[in-house]
Every structure is written in C-alpha cells, then in structure tokens.
Chain A
C-alpha cells in the first residue's frame, strides 16, 4: 500500500492529492445542499472557527501565550463592520474598506492589551486576557447610554451583506466560496509565517524566553506582534461573521466562545496548522452532529429531552481539554517541537 503512495518517488502525487481535496471542497456545498441548506450554513460557521483557531494559534501555538479572551477581537471586528455597514449610524461602506479597518482596530486592541501585560508570566497572562474579554463584553453591553453606540444588549440588526459591483453575497453558498478563499490565504500566511524569521523567533520565545532574549531576540516586540497579528485575524473573522449573520449582539461574544476556540487549538495540536484546522472542524461539527443524533435518540428512548445537546457539547469540550492534556498533551496532530516540549517532564528538561 505504502509503495503506491510514496510521495518521495512520485512527487506528482502531492499535486494529485491537492487537486482531489480542491475538487472535494469545491463541490462540497452542492453535496451539502442535498442534505439541507442548513449544513452549508453550519460549514460556513465551521470555516469561521477555523479562521479564529488559526488566529489564536499564532498567539498560543507559535508564541506560547495563552489568551483566554480571544473572542474580544472577534467582537471588535464584528462591531466595526456592524457600525460601518448598517442602519445604526446610517453608514454603508463597502466590505473591502471595512475589513482592513476592522483588522487594524482589532490589532490595535491586541497591542493595547499586550503592551502592559506581556511581561507577565503565562498563567497570569491567561487570567488578564480573560478579564479583558469580559471588559470588552461589558462595554458592548453598556455603550448604549448616554450616547447610543452599540445598541446595548439588543445588538445591531440589518447589517449589510458583502457586495461587489454587480454581485451580492446573498446566499450561504456564495459566502462559502468567499470563506474558503480567505481561509486558504490565511493558511498560506500561517505556513509562511511559521518558518519565517519571526516564526522561529516566536518558537524560541515559547521554548525559553530568557535564552531567546540572550540570542538577541526582542521578546517584547515579538510578543506584541503575535498578539496584534492574532487579533487582526480575529478581527477579519468577526467582520465576516457580522455580514453572514446580518445581526450581532454581545451574546455572541461570551467567555464560552473564547474557551471553545482555545479547545480547538489545544485538541488539534498547539502550533500545528493542520492540527488546529482538524480541531476546529471536529469541535464545530460535533455539536451539530450531536443535535441531529442525541435529540431524536432521547425522544425515542425517554420520550422527552433529558439532556440538552448544548450541555453535552460543553461537557465534551471540557473533557477534551482535560483528557488531551492528560493523555496526549501535544494534541491529536502534534507539532514536532511542541510534542517534545509538552511530554518531557521538568526534571528531564533541567538535565
């Protein structure tokens, strides 16, 4: 079997593989429409989660900074888009103007959060970022008085979809192709980033900050950069979320969402781009599959709903975090370096 798929002797096999995956991804929405249009929408959200997870992977996986308030940047991007393209202020700017603004504002927030906190050690940073996420949510909830900016808990409705001259993104399938294009670009950026000078510097910081500094790496600036870059990806994903949903409220940006993205990165394998994508796909589809299996199953067995699939989903997230850390600390698809780092004990590393 292996002889036939040996890519070293047959390099063209890789391209065949890429082509097959490409074709599969291109026809996927039509196949899904056969099952139900909802599934295209679910796939779109899954791709959004892939974007988020890849953004967070820069912060957690590459630079080793645990960020528990990542969803705040998603919220910032979403609100920037919503405010600039909805009846809220009567502004209707085109998306290709807003998305860069959203990414920039999110990056600014990332730098704002990072600047005072990046000298903190890992676990403190986690808690501070968590607090930051909550602060953003509280502000979004309350910035309706005295001047109505965010419309408070009611949220903003009637957000414009993406439009190009003569073309309107008005169906989930159109968004699917757009999201697919964006996610491919982000994957390429991530792959290039990982092996760049910056990516290697991040890895050095993650492994041993003091040693990295001794090697002449400007640790503070590079950590800030990781924060800002991760945040800008979150901002772009947020803008797209805003347009797809056409409605946003602070409810979409709660702590659980941050933890969900962290779970995806951890489950898949921190620092490994393909692992993170796998984690995001698994954790965004499992709840939907649960919804389609657990509910009818419970109705059939007990005649009523005993356990909400939402609860099962969260329990699975929690269990995934604990079990992965206990038994496979480097994730399902570990990155080589990360694996070495997370499986070696402190004593081993000391010697």
Chain B
C-alpha cells in the first residue's frame, strides 16, 4: 500500500509535467495538424537556460525561490523566441505542402536545436544545484516533498490559465476558429499567421516552464533529455486525444501514473517465482524477475501503440475522420 501511494504521488508529479509539455504538442497539432517534433528540444532548452541562470545567481546569495523564478523568467522568453523562430523559418513556408514535408523539417529542426545545445552546454549531464530546501510531508505512509507540491501547484495553475485563455478570451476564440477552419477564420478577419505564431509561442513558453520543473525535480539536465521527454508527452497528448486541450492534461497525468505504477509493480508482477514456477533461482525465496523497473521508458510507447490501435481518437477526442 505504501508503495502504491508513493508511486501515486510520484506519478502525479511526473504526469503533471508531461501534461504541460503535451499541451504544447496538442495546441500546435490542433491548429495546423503538425506534430511539432522539435517541441521536446524546446523543453530541453528551457531547462538548460534555467540551469545556466540559476548557477550564475547561486553565489549572489539571493533567496532560493527568487533564483528559481528568475531562472524560469529567463528560460520562458528564450524558448518563446525559439518556438517563434522555428514556426517562421521551418514550418510556415511548408504550410501548404504535403504532410511529410513539415514533419521532416521538424526532425531537422530538432537535430539542429539538440546539437546547438550540445555546443553551448557540452554533452555532460548537468546537475541542477539543489537550492530549494526539500522538506517531506507524510500522507498515509507516502512522502511528498515541497518540490513536488510546488510542481503540482504550478502545473495546475498553468493548465487553468491556458484553459481560460483558450475558452474565455478573444485570442482563444480566434485560435479555436483557426483550428476548425483556417480559410473561413481568415475570411472572418482573423490574422491566421499571427494566431498560429502565438500558438507556437504559448506552447514554447509552457514547454520552458516544464523544462525548468523537470530539471529541478530530477536535478539533472542533458542535451538529449528532450527527445524521450517529448515522445512521452506526445504519447500523453495522443492518449488524451490529440488536438484536445483537456485531453492533453488528462493524458499527461494518466501517463505519469501508468509509468510510475508500472515501474513500481512490473518487477513483482513478472517475478516468475511468484507464479509458482519450479525454477532453480526460486529456491529459498529467490526471485526470477523477467522485467524490472529499468523498462520504465517502454510504458509510454506501449500506451501510445495501444491507444493508436484501439482508440486512435484518444480518450477525449471526438473528431475521427482524417485522424486514423
């Protein structure tokens, strides 16, 4: 039970970060049906910029919270610029090309961003300074740290803010209109190019915050972190129904839970001794574990494949037509 609660807490935390990253994928997909392959790299750049700024500020003796906030405050505009840049240079010229073309440029942009980061920040795993004093609270046997609480709070705020922006403001209305039908939205006087650029910028800003959260949570950042994180977030977006904003939030949290609980239990579950197999290794209470928690990263892909096979429109998606 303790393991269960603990993995639940860990899963919720990781899942809310996935959800924020997944929002970036889903917003862009919803509006121009492009899988922005490079979004994971934007998250990585966010983490890297924050790392540099935080490391610069630590010796100044500012309060830790302020340092992290300034770090995030620097990461967000940088990532927004990157997001705008790639939309403007790599995607906009290809908006009317067949689908494969922007997907391939997206892969190219992702490689370029990764290796530019490698040149700037080296290929080492960078350790985030642990400046926020971590205190643990216990709820029914599971420990939840202050950092985890902060991450949950920030992610919830961001998601709520985005929901308000999309569903309650003129800009949000314009975004939804463009998503439904760009030509007609254009005829109604909406500047589609501006709306699409703003979507990229907002997605990148969310990604930057997610990167900072991810870095402070795991204490690490590396130039390759974006691709796996991006894939997981994309899986989350598909799980919830790509193009669907509440879906991305739900998908992210669910994926985090599946991953954490899966990693927590797969070892016990695939312990062949538990199933009473007469194996030599089992004698004297031994174990014969087929798959351990080192398979954690596989879960996201398996979820992705299962969803695409059995419910390609995702949990909350409704439009099927051209999706599958």
Contacts and interface: CB of A to CB of B under 8 A. Distances in A.
Interface of A: 64, 66, 68, 116-117, 119-124, 126-128, 130-132, 134-135, 138-139, 141-142, 145-146, 255-256, 259, 262-263, 266, 307, 311, 314-315, 317-322, 325-326, 329, 341-342, 345-347
A255 B289 CA distance: 28
A148 to B, nearest CB: 13
Given A121-B323, A315-B115, A322 B109 contact: yes
A342 B96 CA distance: 10
A325 B298 contact: no
Contacts of A132: 301, 305
A319 B108 contact: yes
Given A142-B294, A325-B104, A315 B116 contact: yes
Contact of A321 (B35, B99, B105, B118): B105
Given A255-B227, A322-B108, A326-B105, A127 B304 contact: yes
B93 interface: yes
B97 A342 contact: yes
Contacts of A122: 99-100, 103
B96 A317 contact: no
Nearest to B34: A123
A69 to B, nearest CB: 10
Contacts of A142: 291-292, 294-295
A123 B109 CA distance: 16
Nearest to B300: A131
A135 B301 contact: yes
A131 B301 contact: yes
20 contacts: A66-B100, A120-B308, A120-B312, A121-B322, A122-B99, A128-B304, A131-B300, A135-B302, A139-B298, A256-B111, A262-B107, A311-B115, A314-B111, A314-B114, A315-B115, A315-B116, A318-B107, A321-B104, A322-B109, A322-B112
Nearest to A146: B288
Given A127-B304, A318-B112, A135 B322 contact: no
B101 interface: yes
A13 B119 CA distance: 50
A120 B324 contact: yes
Interface of B: 34-35, 90, 93-94, 96-105, 107-112, 114-116, 118-119, 227-228, 231, 234-235, 238, 281, 288-292, 294-295, 297-298, 300-302, 304-305, 308-309, 312, 322-324
Contact of B100 (A64, A134, A256, A320): A64
A116 B305 CA distance: 8
A100 B51 CA distance: 50
B101 A325 contact: yes
Contacts of A262: 104, 107
Contact of B324 (A119, A318, A319, A329): A119
A318 B110 contact: yes
Secondary structure dominating the interface of A: helix
A322 B115 contact: no
A96 B8 CA distance: 52
Q: Give the top 3 A-B pairs by smallest Cβ distance, nearest first.
A: A321-B108, A318-B111, A131-B301
Nearest to B289: A146
A123 B289 contact: no
Contacts of A307: 119
Contacts of B304: 127-128, 131
Contacts of A138: 294-295, 297-298
A85 to B, nearest CB: 27
A341 B99 CA distance: 11
A66 B309 CA distance: 18
A130 B304 CA distance: 11
A269 to B, nearest CB: 13
Given A120-B308, A131-B301, A145-B292, A311 B119 contact: yes
Nearest to B227: A255
Nearest to A270: B100
B107 A326 contact: no
Nearest to B235: A131
Contacts of A320: 108
A315 B116 CA distance: 8
Nearest to A349: B98
Given A116-B309, A345-B96, A317 B111 contact: yes
A266 B106 CA distance: 13
Contacts of B110: 318
A321 B111 contact: yes
Given A134-B231, A142-B294, A321-B111, 14 more contacts: A121-B324, A127-B231, A128-B308, A131-B231, A134-B297, A146-B290, A307-B119, A311-B115, A317-B108, A317-B111, A318-B108, A321-B108, A325-B102, A342-B100
Contacts of B90: 322, 326
A326 B305 CA distance: 31
Given A128-B304, A130-B231, A266-B104, A318 B115 contact: yes
Contacts of A68: 107
